[in-house]
Amino acid sequence: MLITYTAKYTKINSGYMGQVIEWQEVITEAETLEICRAMLQDALQEMILAYRQQNKEIPVGNSLLEQIPVEV
């Protein structure tokens, strides 16, 4: 079964921080965006395995993020 999750990447002083929106505990940091993406994918896979081992319910994906423009 394929589930789609939403990733959020934020530029920080040391590089990038990545987080899964639907699963706030899945978070990583890396020097580059590419490495951050790969690490977030790995962290998500590991979290899924851990939840399955503990018989916990895996959060559902498919969130939608959009930017809202506002004049300041």
pLDDT digits (tens, 9 = 90+) for 25-57: 999 999 999 999 999 999 999 999 999 999 999
Determine the Cα–Cα distance for residues 56 and 1; give it in Å rounded to an integer: 17
Dihedral, CA of residue 34, residue 37, residue 39 and residue 42, to nearest 10: -130
User: From edge to edge, which strands make up the β-sheet containing 15-20?
Assistant: 7-12, 15-20, 23-30
pTM for this prediction:
0.83
- What pLDDT was estimated at residue 58? 92
Q: What is the mean pLDDT of residues 6-16?
A: 96
For residue 23, give every residue at least 6 positions away whose Cβ sits within 8 Å of its Cβ, in sequence order, or none.
5, 44, 47, 59
